[in-house]
Amino acid sequence: MSSHNQIVFFDTTLRDGEQSPGCTMHHDEKLRMAHQLASLGVDVLEAGFAIASQGDSDSIRMIAREVRGPRIASLARCKREDIEAAARSIEPAEKARIHTFLASSDLHLEAKLKITRAEALDQAAESVRLARTFADDVEFSAEDATRTDPDFLIKIVTVAVQAGATTINIPDTVGYTTPDEYAATFRMLIEKVPGLAGVDGKDDVILSTHCHNDLGMAVANTLAGIHAGARQAECTINGIGERAGNAALEEIAAALMVRRDKLPYTNNIKLNQLYPTSQMLAEFISFGCSPNKAVVGANAFAHESGIHQHGMMANPLTYEIMTPESVGVPSTNMVLGKHSGRRLLEQRLTELGHKLTRSQLDEVYHRFTELADRKKSIYDQDLLGLLQPDKSAVITH
C-alpha cells in the first residue's frame, strides 16, 4: 500500500468523454468546462488528444495557457509525432503532463497494431524516454491492460517505469474486469515491479485506474483499485466516455465522502461543485444524465412515496445518506404525485400561505389524489386550483 492516502483525481471529460458520440464540444465550451473543472478541484485535467486534430491541439493549448490549478495533460500514442504534438500543446501550462499509451493485450497487438510483444516493449520505452525530454511528468497507459497476459503486463510496466514514467495507468479499456480481479492486478504489480508506489516506502511512481462502465462496474472497479494501492482515479463528469462511459467522477467523490469509514482517503474535490459541473456539461453536450443517475440526477434527492416523504420530513437521514447541499444540489426535491401523503401536501400548502383545518385538508387531499391519477406532476398552481372549487372549505391565512 502507498504510504500516503491522497487520491489524485484525473479528469478526462474533455478527452475520453469528448470523443464519444453526442459529446463534441466547441472551443469556448471546452475552455469554460476546463475552468469549471479547475473550480471543482481536479488535480489533472486531460484536455484532449493533440495529434487528433488542429482543433484539439488548439483547445489544449488555450486551456494550458488560461486554466490554472490542475496539471494539464495531452494524450499521445507511442509515436514521435504524437508526443511532439502533445508537448507543443501543453507547453504554456504551469504544470504539464504527457500521457502516452500503447496496447498491451495480444489481441490489440496482433489485430490492431500488428507488432510483436518485443516491439511493443521497445516502443513503450522509447516513447516514455522521448516524452521525458519534454516533460518531467509522464504517464504511461497499457491499453487493454485487463485483458493482457499478467507476465507481459509486468514486463511492459517495468520497462515504462525504467524509462521514466511517473504515473502508470492500468486501463480497463473495454469495461471487462471485476473489482476483485482488478484489485489483484494492482497488488501483483506493486509486488513485482520495482519502483511502484509502496514497494520500498516511496511514492515515486503512482498507479492509476481507468475504468469503463460496459458492465456497470466502473466505479466499483475504481474503488477496488484504490483499495489495492492505486492513487490516481481517471474519470469523467456524468460518466461520459466511450460506449457505456467512464467511471463517474461525482460517484467516486461522493463515495469517498459518505463512506470515509471504509475508504479513508483524502482528495481535493470540492463536493459542492459537483452538481454545477454536471449541469454545465449537460448544457454543452447533446444529453444530460438520466434522472435516476447517482448523485447528480434529477431524482437523486427526490422523494415521491408518502412513506419516504413522511420520513424525510421527520429526519432527512431516514432516506438520504448525504445532503443535496453537500454535492451542490439546491435542495431536496419533494415531488408531489400520486404517491405523496397528506403531510407533504399540508406542508406545501402551508408554504404557499394556506393553513387548512383537518377536514379541509381531507377534502383537498381527496381532490389532489384524483388529479394525481390523471396528471404526472403536480405544480403549485395546480394545488392552488384545488383550493378553489369548494368555497365551503374556508381558507385561512
CA distance 32 to 25: 10
Least distance from C-beta 235 to Mn ion, angstroms? 10
Please give the residues from 62 up to 121 whose contact with Mn ion meets the rule CB under 5 A.
none
CA distance 34 to 320: 31
* Nearest to Mn ion of 11, 346 (CB atom): 11
* Nearest to Mn ion of 20, 178 (CB atom): 20
Q: Which residue is nearest to Mn ion (CB)?
A: 16
Residues with Cβ within 8 Å of 49's Cβ and at least 6 positions away in sequence, in order, are 15, 19, 56, 74, 75, 76
Least distance from C-beta 225 to Mn ion, angstroms? 14
Number of residues located near Mn ion, criterion CB under 5 A: 1
Beta bridge partners of 236: 248
Beta bridge partners of 211: 172
Least distance from C-beta 242 to Mn ion, angstroms? 5
Least distance from C-beta 250 to Mn ion, angstroms? 18
Residues with Cβ within 8 Å of 170's Cβ and at least 6 positions away in sequence, in order, are 141, 142, 145, 146, 153, 182, 185, 186, 189, 207, 208, 209, 210, 225, 230
Rounded-to-10 torsion of CA 57, 60, 66, 70: -160
- Among 64, 66, 122, smallest CA distance to 96 is for 64
Least distance from C-beta 221 to Mn ion, angstroms? 13
* Nearest to Mn ion of 144, 346 (CB atom): 144
CA distances to 19, 194, 338, 344, 381 from 364, in Å: 52, 72, 13, 13, 14
* Nearest to Mn ion of 16, 346 (CB atom): 16
CA distance 187 to 230: 9
Please give the residues from 154 up to 213 whose contact with Mn ion meets the rule CB under 5 A.
none
How long is the chain? 397
* Nearest to Mn ion of 47, 393 (CB atom): 47
* Nearest to Mn ion of 16, 82 (CB atom): 16
Q: Pattern 241-260, binding to Mn ion, x per CB under 5 A?
A: --------------------
* Nearest to Mn ion of 17, 198 (CB atom): 17
Q: Pattern 3-42, binding to Mn ion, x per CB under 5 A?
A: -------------x--------------------------
Least distance from C-beta 267 to Mn ion, angstroms? 21
Least distance from C-beta 97 to Mn ion, angstroms? 16
Binding site for Mn ion (CB under 5 A): 16
